[in-house]
Amino acid sequence: LALNESPFAPSDQIAAVIKQSAAVANCYGNPACTRLVNAISETYAIPVERLICGNGSEELLEVVARTFVQRDDEIVLSQYGYIVFEMIARRLNARLVKAPESNYVCQADALLDCITSSTRLIFLANPNNPTGTMMSVAQVQQLLQALPNHIVLVIDLAYGEFVGFDYCEHIHKLVADYDNVVVTRTFSKAFSLAGLRVGWAHAPAWMIPGLYAARGMGTVNALAQAAAVVSLQELVLVREQVRLIRSECQRITDALENLGVRCIASETNFLLMTIVGSSRESTEALVDFVFDNEGILITLAREAGLERFFRVSVSTIENNNRLISAVERFLEQCKELD
């Protein structure tokens, strides 16, 4: 339960289309992902000239940064922003500027305070990984109203579906209203296709040719394209799975908080938590205990300032029960040792 994947396997229809595509894997996939772009356009009512697909949204995050950021330019992100933003900045030799969060939530004012004449781009995962928290649409609007329009705001909606499809729609509207906003989405989380690597970006039409130029020609493989098209026909199933995951997220929160674990209120399919009064060593011991006793892998937070936190992906009821029970046994063992 370490990578915030979906616990649900792709549907039989998707498995069948992957098999069909595998039979013609001697041919390249379509570099423009035409069928997938059309399907995304129809599903979300976004013009095709504002869409580009990528090898996971991770590729597109880097493609956008590579398009707008040069060595020594500044990239702003929040204090506990997604670690890949930091990795991208380092690959580009850009300077990283981190805005303080309040209560593990990113703040519009704090991001704006970080802006200098060298700022080229802001990365905002909303909700964010690893915190699971988010800014409201109104707060994002507040950020955009004050943001100079030569600075690009990338809003990463990898977990947007867990907040709601309506929420995603509101965020996408910002791309129509502002010429400097890019929204990225993924098929890896709510759509259960993490292993195929496919994501997409909604950007102002003027940016799209530049993003294609910065992206590799055939980075979205044919199997991924075909599967993603079918997954968009299964929105009823996706919504139901999202509902189950959100309800399990609440159930895990309640159960672990009862045991004295502090869970940061999550809007996603994962939880960031810490055992009250724990040290880095005891948090590591918990991660080891859960693995040794249940074979369940959970993640130690890597961000500076979150050393006593661990992150858990919400899974099936059975796996979640095993996790809760392992944490309970670990805490009992700690009490006995005291």
- On whether the CB atoms of residues 250 and 109 are closer than 8 A, the answer is no
Q: Contact region for ligand PLP (CB under 6 A) — 52-60, 113-121, 132-140, 141-149?
A: 52-60
Q: How far is the CB of 14 from ligand PLP (least distance, A)?
A: 16
The count of chain residues that interact with ligand PLP, using the rule CB under 6 A, is 13
Q: Which is nearer to ligand PLP, 230 or 272 (CB)?
A: 272
Q: What is the dihedral of CA 203, 209, 210, 212, to 10 degrees?
A: 90
CA pair distance 224, 18, nearest whole angstrom: 8
- On whether the CB atoms of residues 69 and 211 are closer than 8 A, the answer is no
Q: What single string gives the DSSP state of each residue in 63-116?
A: HHHHHH--TT-EEEEETT--HHHHHHHHHTTPEEEEEPPBTTB--HHHHHHT--
Which of residues 14, 21, 58, 299 is near ligand PLP by CB under 6 A?
A: 58
Q: Which is nearer to ligand PLP, 271 or 275 (CB)?
A: 271
Is residue 168 within the footprint of ligand PLP (CB under 6 A)? no
Q: Which is nearer to ligand PLP, 271 or 326 (CB)?
A: 271
Q: What six digits make up the tokens of 215?
A: 């992206």
Q: Contact region for ligand PLP (CB under 6 A) — 50-58, 100-108, 201-209, 326-334?
A: 50-58
Which of residues 62, 156, 248, 267 is near ligand PLP by CB under 6 A?
A: 156
How many Cα atoms sit within 13 Å of 36 on the Cβ side? 27
Which of residues 131, 133, 141, 186 is near ligand PLP by CB under 6 A?
A: 186
Sheet with 261-263, side-by-side order of all strands: 261-263, 270-275, 310-313, 299-300
Q: Which is nearer to ligand PLP, 61 or 263 (CB)?
A: 61
Q: Which is nearer to ligand PLP, 155 or 261 (CB)?
A: 155
Q: Contact region for ligand PLP (CB under 6 A) — 53-61, 146-154, 228-236, 292-300?
A: 53-61
Q: Which is nearer to ligand PLP, 57 or 320 (CB)?
A: 57
Which of residues 21, 141, 188, 266 is near ligand PLP by CB under 6 A?
A: 188
Helix or strand or coil: residue 54? strand
Q: How far is the CB of 104 from ligand PLP (least distance, A)?
A: 15
Q: What six digits make up the tokens of 326?
A: 């392992």
**What angle do the packed helices 317-337 and 235-258 form, to 10 degrees?**
20
Helix or strand or coil: residue 276? coil
Is residue 194 within the footprint of ligand PLP (CB under 6 A)? yes
Is residue 125 within the footprint of ligand PLP (CB under 6 A)? yes
Binding site for ligand PLP (CB under 6 A): 4, 56-58, 82, 125, 129, 156, 158, 186, 188, 194, 199
